[in-house]
Structure 1
Amino acid sequence: METRIFFNPGDSVANIHDYNEAVRTGQIFKKERKVSDLVIAKGKDDSEYAIFYAKDQLPADHEKSKPYEVKKRL
């Protein structure tokens, strides 16, 4: 079952159409920047996968939050 999580769309590290490319980009980003806990997520009506820092998660009632379904945690 997928998890719903809320982010400000402007906080995404990258937006990519292809899921596999999003995973590769996230892995490269994680290794180069030495960061942990990235999330690959997709909005309900979005055609792209977004990469976010998990720490940037917002509460559902935040004015800039938008729901995303977590596809993979890196």
Structure 2
Amino acid sequence: MDNRIFFNPGDSIANIHDYNEAVRKGQIFKKEQQAGDLVIAKGPDDEEYAIFYANDALPADHEQSQPYEIKKNL
């Protein structure tokens, strides 16, 4: 499985500096919102984690896509 996926940063549900906090918030969001598949991804700046819907992934050549490294699927 490739760990790199492309997203528009504006589509993120949350951006958090702490990985464990990102996982906790993602789990809460998924439970409360009955959300689809979520991913915790490390941003291109390598400083924070973002929570995205997996379905929001973009092709690499999309003008607003940036590479994220998937850390956890929820």
2:30 maps to amino acid: K
Identity in percent: 78
Give the 5 Å matches for 1:1-40.
3-40=3-40
Gaps of 5+ in 1: none
The answer for unaligned runs of 5 or more in structure 2 is none
Contact 1:18–1:48 at 8 Å: present in 2 too?
yes
Aligned-residue CA RMSD (Å): 1.3
Q: TM-score, normalised by structure 1?
A: 0.94
Given that 2:44 and 2:66 are in contact with CA atoms closer than 8 Å, whether structure 1 keeps it comes out as no
Deviation at 1:2, TM superposition (A): 5.9
Shift of 1:45: 2.0
Q: Which amino acid aligns with 1:70?
A: I
- Deviating above 6 A after TM superposition, structure 1's stretches of 4 or more consecutive aligned residues are none
- 1:2-55 deviation digits (Å, cap 9, x = unpaired): 610000000000000100000000000000000121010012323110000000
Amino acid across the alignment from 1:23: V
CA distance in 2, matches of 1:73, 1:26: 10
